[in-house]
Structure 1
């Protein structure tokens, strides 16, 4: 059962919907027989429509103040606001027909056909219903099923002799725009009744996922867990089960290829060290389809990111101790004799355009200090790359590939670590995971001196642990490779940082580390030690 929707929002919302329906009734008549008086009637209704939208927005603004951010009630209210804005845009699209001069040049038969299409779009608005107490998804799905039919009718409504094509092009464009808005309205309606993780595009995927948990595949609820940079959906999926009540899992959706890669990554971890990987309950990837999904077990615990941001230092320290034991076991059990080369500079070069887009002035082209030229950042990459080829890790291990603080989950009741988001798993240099984790801890937006010192202490523990492992396994280039890997991680991390001074600190560390590596004597590489206190101090 959902939280009850604010009745004030619903009241203004429905009056707005009724008003937009009035817009459609007027534009139907106008397109059939254009006249100045009808055009003026449409134009005169704009103010009332705008007022109703503003009332919805104000009611939502007042309602969300008492809601938990991104909680269920918050999401419902914001979804209604999105619905209201789409309704307003449809109303505006009606009004814009009055500015299409070519409409009057069309034959009566063509205008009547356009009127029928407008009527089909307008009638769909009657399906925009919000159930105040419980989710009702059928209206959004019904609108979704109408859209291809309306689009097909628009495409085939006129004879292919192109007579009047020039005059009809603008009208066609306006109707396509209406149909697109109607499609977005169907998505927003599903989100309002079912949560923002649900759309027309993925409803079938969610239904298939729920079916793996319960025979009653429509008896499920979805709550978004995360907003991702890729735009994919990560949500909690709950389904009623006759025998055991609610069952909960995590639904992940994205590009089919990424889903396939994650399935492969989970399989790799299951074969090597199954304790850290979640169990895949079901997956769905259609051949040739763009969208894929998977359902994994709901893992207990909190991410390392959550623990650190909330100042739960005791749990974070215990996580770090458990992580060290876990990594040692993983690295030993997955070790293969093939030397590993992660190609950090290749990775960095590929990401520099995006990195520079965020902060164009951070990575200098050329500098002169006291008359002495300094290498540009691109020159540093060019110089480090051949050195890196000589610094291969003496063995390969299974690595996570994206070992950030939000991809580590800790269950403090069982003192157990889980890894999530495994689509980049591969056999490579263990230093890559280490550097990514160290950099992701460093870039957390925690700036107070005390908590910041706690973060730096955790990074120091990681370094000491990995250094001991390197020594035990005769990895003499560990520190030099870590400097290169951290240079890459610091530089690419700036694209996630809005605060320019903080991004500058990361960029300077990247430049310092890469330049230090270029000055090393290859014959004495094993003597190099990462200047940990200089790098991880503020």
Structure 2
């Protein structure tokens, strides 16, 4: 670890820490000595802290702009420095707020009836180690700073409960409210300390990671015994945050740990990860190696962590967009072969219905929140009633109830091209992000896969031709599977699945014009379905122009 030694910035930073600590000390003196002159000193010092913060910002940004792209450690250090300084300045501001509140106590001894001292013990304990934690890159000290926020929250809740119970009694209302406001500012100082601790962890690990995620990662690794040394000797690389709130990262060993630790770490809501764990276990039982191996699963009250075997390879999306034709052919062939194997081996005679209409209706609010211009409220032209999309879907939902698939298969549940991994070395396909897997109509996976290609914001003619080719091939393959298995209403159900995927995908598309294209495709296909609802569904055929860009 190279310690960056910008002496001028380091000096400014240490002064910020010192001056902010003086601010907090003076608020304690105000409470204990009732000296109103100290409030003026707090206000005056606040301007000096603001000036120091501006100096650090100017110097840090100047160095960030001059740094080369290869100087990631240096840039991360400076980014963390800016976050820490900003939060120290916030603590200084909260000190001013506390000083201002003190004048509203008509009995200056009143606040001493409550446990204000415990707040300050935690604040001073954390502030005393900020400089050392940051410049020594000490993750244990950073964790202590983070933990102080938990303790301060506990102290605040305890005092809050007492104050609220006394608010029910007559008298002292002004003093009780003022004391509560002062304690709220002390609690906010704890929030700022949490941000400071997490910024120090970022400067050490090179990735933004919340303290609860770090704790979950540390506990999970300890539970498995995969990492014999400190977590500091591992490289954590954040990959993405899912729309369901999960944080995903890869973890690789350094030095002697290099071959021992090579895993995915996933942290998020308990229900989602429990569902994913159960789905992965089911996939592993039926198709060993298709889903990532589970190394560990740790949970607490509301969240959970999964440690999964790292899957070597590239996403099918990357292959389609960037690989040469030979690799694309091999990857798509392996994917199609895998899908066919899954469908054939998991096919049961149990009829199924994906309830696409209900899925669309449940997501329309999110679509309209992002794209209110797409909402059709219904209208009347003379004697002709024009129904809204919601009205059309509710009317069609009753027809969909009778449009069952003649069999069920075990589907991925979110068969986007970025949830499919291809390993060129062993030419195998792997599935990830499996918490939605269940037995249902295979048309759902087909529609999701087709639209996941369509909705990519790629408009180069060559790339679009490749995407359209993949969509067309998968449609033809799926239609052949349906025909081979006596599924005569597949195209009608797939059409409704495409309506669902086109319309609901717009809630993740910020480009209004492209969102409109997808939305209207969905409405167009729905119109085709409604127009055909009087005849046998076996005769319905999806027009290719509906799903080819």
Correspondent of 1:199 among 191, 198, 210: 210
Deviation of residue 430 (structure 1)? 1.1
Shift of 1:459: 1.1
Deviation per residue, 1:458-484 (Å, 9 max, x gap): 211111111221121121111111110
Change in CA separation of 1:5 and 1:326 when aligned onto 2, cut-off 3 Å: farther
Q: Name structure 1 gaps, 5 residues minimum.
A: none
Partner of residue 227, structure 2: 214
SS of 2:536's equivalent in the other structure is helix
In structure 2, what is the equivalent of residue 274 of structure 1? 288
Greater shift in the superposed pair: 254-263 or 237-246: 237-246
| CA deviation map 1:314-356 (0-9, x unaligned) | 5444322221111111111111111121111111111111121
Q: How does 1:335-484 map to 2 (within 5 A)?
A: 335-367=347-379, 372-484=384-496
More displaced stretch, 497-506 vs 177-186: 177-186
2-structure distance, mates of 1:32, 1:194: 41
Alignment of 1:124-135 (within 5 A): 124-129=126-131, 135=137
| Higher mean C-alpha displacement, 384-393 vs 323-332 | 384-393
Aligned residues: 534
TM-score by length of 1: 0.89
Q: Secondary structure of 2:138's match?
A: coil
Shift in Å, 1:177: 2.1
Residue 97 of structure 1 corresponds to which residue in structure 2? 98
Q: CA deviation at 1:306?
A: 3.5
- C-alpha offsets along residues 375-420 of structure 1, whole Å, 9 cap, x if unaligned? 3111221232122222211111110101112211111222221110
Q: Structure 2 CA distance, aligned partners of 1:58 and 1:369?
A: 62
Residue 237, structure 1, aligned to residue 239, structure 2: no
Rounded Cα–Cα distance in structure 2 between residues aligned with 1:320 and 1:206? 35
Gaps of 5+ in 2: none
Distance 2:94 2:450 in 1: 52
Q: Distance in 2 between matches of 1:22 and 1:58?
A: 24
**CA deviation after TM superposition for structure 1 residue 30, in Å:** 3.2
In structure 2, the partner of 1:182 is: 193
In structure 2, which of residues 237, 242, 259 is the aligned counterpart of residue 228 of structure 1?
242
Distance 1:109 1:355, change over 3 A: closer
Quick one: distance in 2 between partners of 1:356 and 1:107?
Answer: 55
Q: Deviations over 1:127-173 (max 9, x none)?
A: 22466787521112222444454455553698987764244222222
SS at 1:364 equivalent: coil
The structure-2 alpha-carbon separation of the partners of 1:181 and 1:293, relative to structure 1 and needing over 3 Å to count, comes to same
Name the stretch that deviates more: 86-95 or 314-323: 314-323
Distance 2:244 2:450 in 1: 23
Partners of 2:200 and 2:105 in 1: how far apart?
32
The 10-residue stretch of structure 1 (174-183 or 152-161) with the greater mean CA deviation from structure 2: 152-161
CA distance in 1, matches of 2:488, 2:40: 81
Secondary structure of the structure 2 residue equivalent to 1:392: coil
Q: 2:342 corresponds to which residue?
A: 330
Corresponding residue for 1:299? 311
1:500 matched to 2:512? The reply is yes
1:136–1:194 CA contact under 8 A, matched in 2: no
> How far, CA to CA, are the matches of 1:516 and 1:202 in structure 2?
48
Deviation at 1:61, TM superposition (A): 4.1
- Which residue in the other structure is 2:502 paired with? 490
2:532 aligns to what SS in structure 1? coil
Paired residues of 1:103 and 1:171 also in contact (CA < 8 A) = no
1:259·1:293 contact (CA, 8 Å) conserved in 2? yes
User: In the alignment, what sits opposite 2:39?
Assistant: 39
Per the TM alignment, residue 224 of structure 1 is displaced from its structure 2 partner at its CA by 1.2
Matched residue SS, 1:105: coil
TM-score, normalised via structure 2 length = 0.87
What secondary structure does 1:410 align onto? strand
Query: For 1:378 and 1:291, how far apart are their aligned partners in 2?
Result: 35
Distance 1:74 1:313, change over 3 A: farther
Secondary structure of the 1:381 match is helix
Residues 52-84 of structure 1, C-alpha deviations (whole Å, 9 max, x = no match): 333444455455555659976655543433222
- Counterpart CA distance in 1 for 2:333 and 2:135 is 47
RMSD: 3.2
